[in-house]
Structure 1
Amino acid sequence: MEKGNPKTINAWTFYDWANSAYPLVITTAIFPMYYEAVTTTTLASGEVSDVVTFLGHQFKNTELYSYASSLSFLIVAFISPILSGIADYIDNKMMFLKFFCYMGAISCGALFFFDEKALEFSMIPVMTASVGFWGSIVFYNSYLPIIAEPKDHDRISAKGYSLGYLGSSILLIGNLVGIMVFGMPAKYAFLSVALWWIGFSQITYARLPRNIGNSPEKEDHIIWRGWRELKKVGAEIKGLKRIKSYLIAFFVYSMGVQTVMLMATLFAAKEINWGEDSAAKTGLIVSVLIIQFIAIGGSYFFSWFSKKAGNITSLSVALVIWVGVCVGAYFIHEPIEFYIIAAIVGFVMGGIQSLSRSTYSKLLPETKDHASYFSFYDVLEKLGIVIGTFSFGFIEGVTGGMRNSIFALGAFFIVGLLLLWRVPKQKVIEGV
């Protein structure tokens, strides 16, 4: 198919506008505060308890949330190779992109019925929404090398993330006006995410190709073809020193990046001295919006910087900043300190996400199995997030405080940075 078609590229980037409502409203802003509020109780003694019962066992509420997130990523890591293999086999990525989109969106709507007294059932849509979002990202990302030339990947990837930050911020502000001005119950925000995600994704579906003419020869046992493809991709990557070194570094530092995004709001709610409860909610929302709008500029800055210094150097700079964020986050207690950290997180969050995706797409060899290659990338990312979120929750459960979990995040960034420096520097791929 034709690469570089502006209408196709705009349609592709608009899926970021559609799906980013989930990571902002559900995983970052409104649902974490809603979850923390409804699962925190005041005992007869007047003491506040954040302990919940799940399957007969007691956990801290945020500890349970991190475990549920870990399980959802483990599910995605297992099923995405199977479905990516099938997608390449039947030459229809669009079908799976839609399936996971609708699964995630419907699950967001189901959070309207979240009941803290029935956590065993209520945590199911929390996990299936995550599976839907991240499952769709596999097939969404795999379109990038199909629709655009490598020289344009950084710019297009940054544009997608920027549209996502902008669109989701608009939806969040609309929900906040409804909640704070008109007294709308917070759970209606979850329904708005479902409608937003499904509605705007139709723009993407109308323009992206359903078939690209790269279907491999037919064979039996297509269910396990994806795992065979994953093994094949792994074997091919072993012989590609640069992409192998990059993926090892990405695996480690993504443990930290995604865990920060998933757990930052809950960390702030528990560890920052907000004062009155209403002040805490307002402060958290302000910090989330700071992150979102600064992330737009961060995406474009790192896209520009990568043209000057190369992708690996740009990613290294971002990771150095992430290490500084972890050091600072351990010592902060006051809202103004958290706002400063949030601004820095926003700046590097957009940059490292868009550059990580575009760097991988640039390093890919000539191949027809784009979904399988991005499935390999996705499996590594998800396994990294499983380790990151589980470590975060486990350390809190053992030590009794989320602040101690920052040590693990800092270690992920430092090791990831050291591994990134081992990526061969020869300019095999333009701009990398």
Structure 2
Amino acid sequence: MGIDTVRTEASDDAAGRRREQRGWYFYDWACSVYSTSVVTVFLGPYLTTVAKAAADSDGYVHPLGVPVRAGSFFAYTVSLSVIVAVVVMPLVGAAADRTGRKKPLLAAAAYTGAAATTGMFFLSGERYLLGGALLVIANAAMSVGMMLYNSYLPQIATPEERDAVSSRGWAFGYAAGALVLVANLVLYLAHDTFGVSETTAVRICLASAGLWWGAFTLIPLARLRDRPAAAKEGPATSPGIRQLVATFRDMRRHPRTLAFLLAYLLYNDGIQTVISQASVYGSEELGLGQSTLIAAILLVQVLAVAGALAMGRLARIYGTKRTILGSLVAWTLTLAIGYFLPAEVPVGFFLLAAAIGLVLGGSQALSRSLFSHLVPPGKEAEYFSAYELSDRGTSWLGPLLFGLTYQLTGSYRDAIISLVVFFAAGFVLLARVSVRQAIADAGNPVPERI
């Protein structure tokens, strides 16, 4: 084979990878609007209102005959969706690795979630059970889809490309989230101008996220391709919990990979808690209005795009692990700033939102990229099911500490600063992981800078 032929094949491989990478970015563009517009902004308050409309005189609804306080229905439903995802993700991940057919499974997860989200248009009156069922389906489908999406990363990007590719994926997601949220807020705040009621405007905003998710999923499905599965012995699938246990048992043969996952579990729980509780802190402790909080959410979305791309560049200079460690220091400083913010001063809260946005996307993108190096070949979806579980399935630890601290001290300032423990513990554990040895132990090529 001549040199020119080798160069042509290498060029074709690079062109094929870039085509898949561009398609891969668009799944984040497609599904992130669900997280931003539906889960973060609109569905919680609206579903709670619907549940309260259906409540009895004591303020309880009775799904399947179980008395549930209407104000807790949304939170319980989110928890149920996590349980469903915990059972389903390992099954789908193992099936994807055994068959090599990730794309049909990604399509099934994406369109199940998109259909459930679009169906939220019919959530009105006292249909809280419909809303709860659609939320469970959409949230679980979102988790499964993201697990499959993430598992493509080691296959479509060389070790040297992964930081940049992962960062661009997160940037696409945050950009789409900001764009659609702006459009939704225009409709919601000016619903009278458009001739619709406030309730109808919310239902349109919810359904639009599902339509967006479904429409833009066509792009990754057109460009991503399946790979031949690695030969594996044993049954195709096991019951969900057994499969999850089997995955973690397999990880015990890769203790450094497991150590990274534990570090990620801790510091990511801190990240998720800051995101979920920042609006509570802003409204209850700092006395800020809803318009200020919504503007801050938009600021986070916009700056997360720049932050993800900037930290991807820093990783090329200083290495992925060092850049993540630096981001954990930045998170700790951000919490310290939040602790000392004066009340009723929106500028201070916007500065806090800006700091969160700049470090948010990069820390998540680089964590995903680093983990992709630690996954044994042929087990991408199976291992990323455990990663996704760490991302979504353990997010109760931080809120629990936040809530307990507030209960004991009566201060949201003490509650927000208590989250430093997650970043400190994650920093210590990650610093102790020899990522080069972990990559070699997993059977993957070690990048020059990691």
Q: What TM-score bracket applies, with the shorter chain setting the length? A: 0.7 to 0.9
**Letter in structure 2 aligned against 1:201:** T
Question: Is the contact made by 1:71 and 1:386 (CA closer than 8 Å) also made in structure 2?
Answer: no
How far residue 299 of structure 1 moved from its aligned partner, in angstroms, is 0.3
Matches within 5 A, 1:32-431: 32=44, 34=46, 53-55=60-62, 61=71, 64-115=73-124, 117=126, 119-181=128-190, 182-183=193-194, 184=196, 185-209=201-225, 211-214=226-229, 216=231, 220=235, 222-224=236-238, 230-231=244-245, 233-274=247-288, 280-332=289-341, 333-334=343-344, 335-365=346-376, 367-389=377-399, 392=402, 405-406=415-416, 409-424=419-434, 429-430=446-447, 431=449
How far does the alpha carbon of each residue in 1:94-129 deviate from its partner, in whole angstroms, 9 at most, with x for none? 122122212222222233344585545433323322
Percent identity, please: 28
Structure 1: unaligned runs, 5 residues or longer: 42-50, 275-279
Question: Is the contact made by 1:254 and 1:384 (CA closer than 8 Å) also made in structure 2?
Answer: no
Distance (Å, rounded) in 2 between the aligned partners of 1:249 and 1:59: 35
Distance (Å, rounded) in 2 between the aligned partners of 1:425 and 1:338: 36
**Letter in structure 2 aligned against 1:325:** T
2:3: which partner in 1? none
Classify 1:92/1:226 alpha carbon distance in 2 versus 1 (closer, same or farther; 3 Å): farther
**Letter in structure 2 aligned against 1:243:** T
Secondary structure at the aligned position of 2:432 is classed as coil
Distance (Å, rounded) in 2 between the aligned partners of 1:312 and 1:66: 34
Question: Is the contact made by 2:47 and 2:128 (CA closer than 8 Å) also made in structure 1?
Answer: no
2:20: which partner in 1? 8
Secondary structure at the aligned position of 1:368 is classed as coil
How far residue 170 of structure 1 moved from its aligned partner, in angstroms, is 1.5
**Letter in structure 2 aligned against 1:207:** R
How far does the alpha carbon of each residue in 1:374-401 deviate from its partner, in whole angstroms, 9 at most, with x for none? 1222233333224335555677788888
Classify 1:188/1:223 alpha carbon distance in 2 versus 1 (closer, same or farther; 3 Å): same
Instruction: Pick the aligned partner of 2:40 from 22, 28, 31.
Output: 28
Question: Is the contact made by 2:337 and 2:352 (CA closer than 8 Å) also made in structure 1?
Answer: yes
How far residue 342 of structure 1 moved from its aligned partner, in angstroms, is 0.9
Classify 1:226/1:395 alpha carbon distance in 2 versus 1 (closer, same or farther; 3 Å): same
Structure 2: unaligned runs, 5 residues or longer: 1-11, 440-445
Distance (Å, rounded) in 2 between the aligned partners of 1:262 and 1:126: 17
Q: Give the total of aligned pairs.
A: 414
Distance (Å, rounded) in 2 between the aligned partners of 1:67 and 1:326: 28
Secondary structure at the aligned position of 1:421 is classed as helix
- Structure with higher RCO (Cα < 8 A, 6+ apart): 1
Question: Is the contact made by 1:77 and 1:382 (CA closer than 8 Å) also made in structure 2?
Answer: no
Question: Is the contact made by 1:20 and 1:164 (CA closer than 8 Å) also made in structure 2?
Answer: yes
How far residue 165 of structure 1 moved from its aligned partner, in angstroms, is 1.2
Classify 1:232/1:218 alpha carbon distance in 2 versus 1 (closer, same or farther; 3 Å): closer
How far residue 146 of structure 1 moved from its aligned partner, in angstroms, is 0.9
Classify 1:267/1:115 alpha carbon distance in 2 versus 1 (closer, same or farther; 3 Å): farther
How far residue 253 of structure 1 moved from its aligned partner, in angstroms, is 1.2
